Amino acid sequence: MVPGRRNEDIRFFEEKLGYAFRSPDIFREALTHASYANELGLPLYNERLEYLGDAVLGLCVSEILFVSHPDYAEGELSKARSLLVCESTLALWADSMRLQDLLLLGKGLEREGGRENPSILADAAEAVLGAVFLDGGYDAARAVVGGFLASVRPRSCAENRDPKSRLQELLQSQGKKPPTYHLVRRTGPDHAARFEVELTSPGGGVRAFGSGSSIKAAEFDAAETALAKLCGPKAERHKQ
């Protein structure tokens, strides 16, 4: 990615985040995966910020729930918090923020589809929260977490499993082969791209199309459509 394009993507991300970093270095650290740092011999990568961000997220969510739900008992507060800070929720939020476009990954991990890996996305989301805390303090981090909570819904991690996994499990349970996904087209500028994919299942009689702001989001949408065809309309859909 050319520097000008990356700078524009960073500004776009900060606008959606609701926070502009004063220190570009700490934000870059939050975006740097260990694989990239190892390849270039860099001393810093985002695992320490991920550790801090995990604690920041837990504290901010705990405070917000405590204040907004005075009627909740301790067990209810703990359950609500666990629903909001699980990996799948963080990964979906990161994807909606297009955080994957900014990550600095090693070449091997890049080839393996690291930008679409939910664990890597969730870790990077926590690293960003840690960076916000160090850069702007608790109030800034709390505001960003408040935005995060406003954009996600408290669903259990089990319920929040991605539709691609649910579809594959369903087809396997029926003795059918897993589906394949093919990128049909990409439209729009880099900072607001749209992707369309086609899903097919060899021998499974399933064909569906999906669209989204990333390839993963489009694949999720196609998988949801396929699940609806196989099982009937879903009461809830992932919002991309």
Clarify whether 54 is annotated catalytic: yes
Taking the chain, what is the end-to-end CA distance rounded to the nearest angstrom? 24
The residue annotated as part of the active site, out of 29, 54, 135, 196, is 54
Clarify whether 71 is annotated catalytic: no
91 within 8 A of 118, measured Cβ to Cβ? yes
Strand partners, 210: 197
**Pick from 47, 216, 24: which is nearest to 135 by CA?**
24
The residue annotated as part of the active site, out of 29, 50, 95, 126, is 126
CA angle 126, 57, 100 (to 5 degrees): 25
Strand partners, 211: 196
**Alpha carbons within 13 A on the beta-carbon side of 17:** 22
Catalogue the active-site residues: 54, 126
